[in-house]
Structure formats: C-alpha cells, structure tokens
Chains A and B, each alone.
Chain A
C-alpha cells in the first residue's frame, strides 16, 4: 500500500482511503474524497508539513504523520470508478 509519503515531488495520484477516522472526516470535508487527485507540490524543511494540491483546486498542508495515513493509488481506484 502506498501513502502520500511515497509521492515524489510534482507527482500526483488518486486518494484511495484513510487509516485514521478523525483525519478521514476532516479530509472528506475538505473535499479529499477517494478518487480525488492529489499532487505533491513541495516538502517543507526539516520534516515539516507537505504542501499538496487537491483536485487542482486548492493547496493543502498536511503534517508528515497525517500524510502517512492517506492511502493513494496511481490509477483511479476500482471501487470508486464503479460508483461514479
């Protein structure tokens, strides 16, 4: 399973799921649904938060500990593509 921490700079992927429900609720509100594209724009110095672009709409900062709880997939997750 890859997480947001596995993204290289400038690369994007699809959100697949979350490993923590508090974080999940917050990110869902922020429009980070499974199947949404997410791109790694920048890493901040000394292990600071990651800067990401969500759905090409806006920038989001996530702490490393949070980013590793977000599962990603290089292709549109199967379950999601069925729903939509």
Chain B
C-alpha cells in the first residue's frame, strides 16, 4: 500500500515522515523532474506494513514551483507510479482555514483520505481551540490529532490509514460561472495541460474556485473553531531583535562567525582522524597485497578516491547541523527577509545567503543548500557563483605560496602582511561572486514571474531528532551522488599518472638510476616515483600544455600539479612535493617543500621559478579556477544536466587564466 503525505510548508509533514519511517527512508527522484523524492517504509503496529512518500510542501494544487508541480502530477494521474492508495493531509491547526484549501482540493480527487490535525499546541498558545470530532463530521473524513514534533498519535493515524475511504462530504466544484463545464478536478487539469484553456480563463477559474472553496471551508468550520482573546505574540518580540536595522545585522554576523569558527575548528578533528585512518588503511592494505598493478589501482585509485569523499563528511555534517538548527528554530526565514533587499542587485535572493556563506567551507554542501531558493533563476545564479567563495581546500595552496613570496612582516604594529594577503584573496572571491552574479542576472534569460510572498514560521525550539535526520539526508546524498563522480575521476587520474607511453617510464628510470645509487632507499623510491610521474601520460600532458601555461609564468611541472589538482585542489601541494623531489638530489631529503620550491630555477634564465609574479599568478588562478570534481558533480546533480556545470567550469577557467595572465604580466 502506498501512502502520500501532503500539506502546506511548515505544517510538520517532514517531522511526521521522520517519526513514521525512522531510518527506513530513501531519497530518489521523481521521473523527469529535478525534485527529490523522499520515500520510506512503515512497520505498522496496526496492520500491514506500508510505503510512505513525503510529497513537497505546497499551498494548493495549482503549482507555482517545480516542487509543487510534482504534487499535482502525482495526485492527478492514476497511472503515475507514485499514485497513492491513501493520502494523509497534514494540517496546521493554528492556521486551519488556510491549510484546509489544499485539503479541499485533494478531497475533490476522491482518493481515500485521512486528515492529520497537527500543531494543536501552537493553536492553543494562540488562543485557538479546534474541535476535532466536529471537524471530522463536517469534512466527512477521519480526523486524527497528532503531534508530529513529539511523535504523538501515530498509532491512531496508522489505524485510520488502514481504514481510510473516500470522503463522505461533497467536494465537487459545480460552478455555474466556470468557463467550461468541469466534471472533475482531474479532468480540469488535463484540459490545462492540453492548452485547451487560455491563461486568462485559467486565472478566472482559479480565482473563482479558490473563493468558492474558501466559502465552503468557512461554512464547515462554523462551530469547529473557537478563538479566545489573542494572546501576546512571541514572534513580535524576537523579530524586534532579529529584524532590527542594526542589531539584526550584528546578530546575523555574530551567528555566522560562530558557525564559521565551529565548522573550521570542530571539523578538523574528525578530518585529521579520517586522514590518519585512511593512511593507516592504505599502509595496512599495501603490506598485505602483492605488488601488482591492480593493488596499486585499488590503493592509489579507489581507496584514495574514497578517502577524498569521506574527508568532506565532517564539514558537511557540521554545516548542515547549524543550518538545520537555524531553519528549525524559524530564524532562517528572518535572515532571508533581512538580506533579500541587499543582495537582489546581484541576481541573488535572500535565500542565497546561506549557500554563499557555506561556500567558504566547501562548495558541495553549499550548492546543495541552495535548494531552498524557490526562484529557479535566483537558484541558478547562486549555484553558479558559490564556487567563487574561497573554500577550505584552497587554504593550503594559498598558505604555501604566500609563505614563499610574502614577507612575514607586521604593518602598523598589528596587521600581519601574510594574513592581509590571505584576507585579500578571500575578499577577491566574494567580490567576484557578486560581480559574476550581476552579470549572470543580465544574461540568463529565464522569464519567470515569481512571487516572493513567504510565510514566516513561528519561532520554536529545534528538535534534535529532526536536525539529525537532516544531517543524515545531506551526507547520504553527498556520498552517493557526488561520490560516484569523484571515484571515477580518481581512477582515471590514477591511470594517467601511473602509465606512460611505451617503455619511456622504465627507460627514464634506468637512465637516472646511476645518479642516485648512493642515496637511502626511501629517497631512491621517491625519486623513482617522480621520474615515473614525469614520463607518465599526465607528465606528457603537462609538457604538452606548457606553451599554454607559459604566459601565466608556469612550467610543465606546475602543469602536472594543475592537472592532478583538477580533481581536487588540495592535491596540488602533494603533487608539487612529489614532482620537485627530482632536481633536489641529496639535499631533498632534509628540505621542506618550501625550501625545495625556492631552490627551483628556470633552466634557461637561471632565475627562480617561484618568483613573486608566478606565485601571485598561481594564487589568482586558484581563486577562480574550478578545480574541484565534487563541485562539478554536485552542480550536475542539482541542475540535472551538463549545460550549467560546463558553463560554470568554462567561465571560471577563463577568469582564472585571464586574471592569472594579467597578474603575471604586471608583476613580471
């Protein structure tokens, strides 16, 4: 048996879904659309087990967003694979009249129906009393009182689901003044889909229908609702602070700094653990496995690839922990309102703030969090600019390059010059994101007439279980979806970096071996690895692209590092360490990467490779370049196609190349 949960946004539908299904949930896609489908299984205490689909929140069956379209599609087509046997309409009792519009529309469909009356406590706080039995009699459907936050009333709900039948009251819309005779709601939607009705007629009909339904609801609610004197509104008190012209922004900034700080500080512990764990796993496996190409593929390709996925989990989990806290408490809706006007000139929306901020940690969960933006154009612009926010993977690259060329001096007694340069790089990313957003706003031709009108939910204490389910859902999605691509690319890169054309790798190693015979074994192995990399396909490509990157001040060795770090930026530093082991000879053993890089000379001019010009050119390159497979994968997933990730990678690469070239030309 299939049961669909339907209801307005903020009615507690998702809480109910989590309580009903627990961990037996799965996220899929509705065929042909970009909306996630949340499904789960209920071990019923009151009869046979059943399947639950959590349909997106909507205010009516007239869709105004992609999410809402799904609800109409599923419920009005009996042939749809997700067409439910029973619908549970979840309604917010504190806002009953408005919530019943969707119920009334769904009841017209004559599908077996149960009404779950939620948030009675909130209603009581507002001084509203709802008589559930009378409501059920008036509406002609079973009404079950639940508390979705606490998980109360679930067994009665299950019993009602098993006994559900079509509503016994009249839900037809026989409107004499309707533009065409409409036998049923389903038929009406069919006509609209076939373009047999003009938009003007549709508007007229929708207006009349909505008013007609609200009149019916009003009539049926007589004697059901009792409104005592309105009590003081707690919302007002909190809003005074949250939306204060100055205090509101200060509060938001403080909260952001706290989140920022926690994500960086707290995530580093589990990330170090994962790093160490993966290293241990690789070492252990290496000692067990025979020396063979397939074991290298397993270790350096697959295990390394999985490590690259798992390392992101702590940041993703922590970020979504804070974001879902803000959402659950109702504060997020206020931030949206607070920021909306300020960032609209840049093609963004109040709801873009969270993805942008999250982007400082990692673009992957940041882009996932852009889903809350209703307008597709605004969401697209947000997705397109988020990777310009300097993520944590760029930090090691910036750090080492700054250490190379920027003096560790102090300005005006307290400002560290290196720190200022780092801050400058972060600001450069942020400002660029706004500028690109402004350009995209002008360029993207999506004509959508979206209404901002947004409900502000009441403030409430967050529920830990709901926060937990949110984190679980996000992490799962990331691991499954982005993980597949990261893994594939890691394996491809492994092949390119391991194998070379013909016997060139072996020959090069033989040729150079004599020069290292006196070195310790480990040193010899490291040198052999770097010679092999130089003569691998990746190395060949590095040399091949050298003419293209020469104007930026890079040699073919940096080229290899650019190539390998295309999968993930953090690989850059590691590759540089390997590749620059070549020229070092005996000194290389005792020197750090920094010293090795400083020693590197241009064979023709004899000048150092890592000059101020080259180093800054590299920093600028990494501010803009889309060197992150996970981001490309997640953009592909979120936009359901290659168009936008390719455009994004393209514009970022053009900016990276152009501005790095400019930097090099000016400084050199």
- In the bound assembly, the distance between CA atoms of A30 and B249 in angstroms comes to 29
Q: Is there an interface contact between B341 and A22, defined as CB atoms closer than 8 Å?
A: no
Q: Is there an interface contact between B98 and A58, defined as CB atoms closer than 8 Å?
A: yes
A1-39 toward B: CB 8 Å interface, digit per residue (1/0)? 000000000000000000001111111111101000000
Q: Is there an interface contact between A28 and B207, defined as CB atoms closer than 8 Å?
A: yes
The A19-75 residues at the B interface (CB cut-off 8 A) are: 21-31, 33, 41-42, 44-49, 51, 53-63, 66
The B421-469 residues at the A interface (CB cut-off 8 A) are: 449, 451-456, 458
Partner of B211, one of A28, A30, A60: A28
Question: Smallest distance from the beta carbon of A68 to chain B beta carbons, Å?
Answer: 13
Which residues of chain A have C-beta atoms less than 8 A from B452's C-beta? 49, 61-63, 66
Stretch at the interface among B56-64, B265-273, B571-579: B56-64
Which residues of chain A have C-beta atoms less than 8 A from B337's C-beta? 44, 48-49, 51, 61
Whether A31 contacts B207 in the complex (CB less than 8 A), given A45-B248, A47-B341, A66-B452, comes out as: no
Which residues of chain B have C-beta atoms less than 8 A from A62's C-beta? 452-453
What's the A-B contact tally at a CB cutoff of 8 Å?
A: 119
Which residues of chain A have C-beta atoms less than 8 A from B358's C-beta? none
B340 interface hit (Cβ, 8 Å): yes
Which residues of chain A have C-beta atoms less than 8 A from B59's C-beta? 26, 29-30
Whether A49 contacts B341 in the complex (CB less than 8 A), given A28-B207, A41-B236, comes out as: yes
Nearest A residue to B99 via CB reads A31
- In the bound assembly, the distance between CA atoms of A83 and B338 in angstroms comes to 39
Q: Is there an interface contact between A59 and B98, defined as CB atoms closer than 8 Å?
A: no
Nearest A residue to B449 via CB reads A22
Q: Is there an interface contact between A51 and B239, defined as CB atoms closer than 8 Å?
A: yes
Whether A48 contacts B338 in the complex (CB less than 8 A), given A27-B453, A56-B230, A57-B94, comes out as: yes
Most B Cβ at <10 Å: residue of A55, A59, A66 = A59
Q: Is there an interface contact between A23 and B94, defined as CB atoms closer than 8 Å?
A: no
A84 interface hit (Cβ, 8 Å): yes
A interface residues, tally (CB under 8 Å): 35
Which residues of chain B have C-beta atoms less than 8 A from A44's C-beta? 243, 337-338, 340-341
Question: Smallest distance from the beta carbon of B500 to chain A beta carbons, Å?
Answer: 60
Q: Is there an interface contact between A26 and B215, defined as CB atoms closer than 8 Å?
A: no
Partner of B451, one of A26, A47, A58: A26
Q: Is there an interface contact between B210 and A29, defined as CB atoms closer than 8 Å?
A: yes
Whether A57 contacts B62 in the complex (CB less than 8 A), given A28-B207, A84-B215, A84-B218, comes out as: no
Question: Smallest distance from the beta carbon of A33 to chain B beta carbons, Å?
Answer: 6
Question: Smallest distance from the beta carbon of B590 to chain A beta carbons, Å?
Answer: 59
Whether A26 contacts B64 in the complex (CB less than 8 A), given A47-B341, A58-B98, A63-B452, comes out as: yes
Q: Is there an interface contact between A30 and B243, defined as CB atoms closer than 8 Å?
A: no
B201-243 toward A: CB 8 Å interface, digit per residue (1/0)? 0010011001100110010000000010010010110011001
Partner of A29, one of B101, B236, B240, B350: B101
Nearest A residue to B206 via CB reads A25
Question: Smallest distance from the beta carbon of A65 to chain B beta carbons, Å?
Answer: 9
Which residues of chain A have C-beta atoms less than 8 A from B214's C-beta? 31, 33
- In the bound assembly, the distance between CA atoms of A23 and B341 in angstroms comes to 19
Q: Is there an interface contact between A48 and B449, defined as CB atoms closer than 8 Å?
A: no
Q: Is there an interface contact between B230 and A51, defined as CB atoms closer than 8 Å?
A: no
B603 interface hit (Cβ, 8 Å): no
Question: Smallest distance from the beta carbon of B587 to chain A beta carbons, Å?
Answer: 60
- In the bound assembly, the distance between CA atoms of A64 and B452 in angstroms comes to 10
Q: Is there an interface contact between B97 and A57, defined as CB atoms closer than 8 Å?
A: yes
Which residues of chain B have C-beta atoms less than 8 A from A57's C-beta? 94-95, 97-98
Q: Is there an interface contact between A58 and B341, defined as CB atoms closer than 8 Å?
A: no
Whether A42 contacts B340 in the complex (CB less than 8 A), given A29-B60, A49-B452, A62-B453, comes out as: no
Most B Cβ at <10 Å: residue of A42, A44, A51, A63 = A44
Question: Smallest distance from the beta carbon of A30 to chain B beta carbons, Å?
Answer: 6
Partner of B455, one of A41, A60, A83, A84: A60
Whether A31 contacts B98 in the complex (CB less than 8 A), given A22-B449, A84-B215, comes out as: yes
The B558-585 residues at the A interface (CB cut-off 8 A) are: none
Q: Is there an interface contact between B456 and A29, defined as CB atoms closer than 8 Å?
A: no
Whether A33 contacts B211 in the complex (CB less than 8 A), given A45-B248, A46-B341, comes out as: yes
Give the top 7 A-B pairs by smallest Cβ distance, nearest first: A31-B98, A48-B341, A45-B245, A59-B456, A29-B59, A29-B60, A26-B451
What are 8 A-B pairs with beta-carbon distances under 8 A? A27-B453, A31-B101, A48-B342, A49-B454, A53-B233, A56-B230, A57-B95, A61-B336
Given contacts A44-B338, A58-B458, 17 further A-B contacts (CB under 8 A): A25-B203, A27-B451, A27-B453, A33-B211, A44-B341, A45-B249, A45-B338, A49-B454, A51-B239, A51-B337, A54-B98, A55-B98, A56-B126, A56-B230, A57-B95, A58-B94, A60-B454
